[in-house]
Structure 1
Amino acid sequence: MCSFCSTKSPHVPLVFTLHRLKPSKKQNQNRHVRLGLLNRRRALLQEARQRNRMMVVVKEEIEMKNLKLYVENKSIIEENDKLRKQAVLLHKENQALLTQLQKKLSAQHNKAFS
């Protein structure tokens, strides 16, 4: 059948015309393979996007934990410095008291032997 007229053309068989309109089996197979590849690529891209979103979430969680640990560490260091200064003051006071005690004992010792 001719595509421009409604009558049958005598030199073109009807079977040939229908055959040209139908895609071949190989074309169908190629189309299925291409669709399968496209679907697979689409699925892989979707998985990659999901992994990226998960990585962003994990990265944010790690950064938050890191920040909390940093603040905690800083407060521990400050507390340690305060305790160290207090220990130095206590040591000086202890040395002063020990010196006073030694002077009193030596004074009593000298009085006892005089």
Structure 2
Amino acid sequence: MCHAVSDHLESFQPSCYTDLVHRPKTSKTAEIHVLKLRRRNGKKLSNEVKERAKLRKLKKIMKMKNLKLYKENKIIIEENEKLRKRALLLHQQNKDMFTQIIQQISQPSNYHNY
């Protein structure tokens, strides 16, 4: 028991009377366990814990949005490269056709000989 019965043990202080200050610090896993128990029991969490949970959720959402935008950007860049190659090909074809037209115009035609 916590009460001293005999006279010679009166000065002895059992562990139940010692300061709570001297208890060892709880580990991180123990703190997490307590938080889980509080959630399970429906007790309110501190604002700091709620804020950290919101930040974790927001980070996860932002990471997903960033990944989606990265993929979309990659697709746009690939399409842009395809269009650039197609434009270069069309430009070359246009140049070739223009050269052919110039050659046809510069050749003397047989129809205008009088």
Shorter-chain TM-score: which interval? 0.5 to 0.7
RMSD: 2.7
Question: Where does residue 91 of structure 1 map in the other structure?
Answer: 105
Runs of 4+ in 1 over 6 A off after TM superposition: none
Q: 1:101 and 1:57 mapped to 2: Cα distance?
A: 63
So what's the TM-score if we normalise by structure 2? 0.59
The one-letter code sitting in structure 2 at the alignment partner of 1:97 is S
Which consecutive residues of structure 2, in runs of 5 or more, have no partner in the other structure?
5-15, 20-42
Kindly indicate whether residue 63 of structure 2 is the aligned counterpart of residue 49 of structure 1: yes
Flag the 1:37–1:8 CA change in 2: closer, same or farther, 3 A. farther
Question: Where does residue 101 of structure 1 map in the other structure?
Answer: 112
Question: 1:40-97 CA distances to partner (integer Å, 9 max, x unpaired)?
Answer: 000110011111111110110110011011001000001001100110111112xx11
Question: Where does residue 38 of structure 1 map in the other structure?
Answer: 52
How many pairs does the alignment contain?
79
Q: 1:50 and 1:8 mapped to 2: Cα distance?
A: 61
Asked which structure has the greater CA Rg, the reply is 1
So what's the TM-score if we normalise by structure 1? 0.59
Q: 2:66 and 2:89 mapped to 1: Cα distance?
A: 34
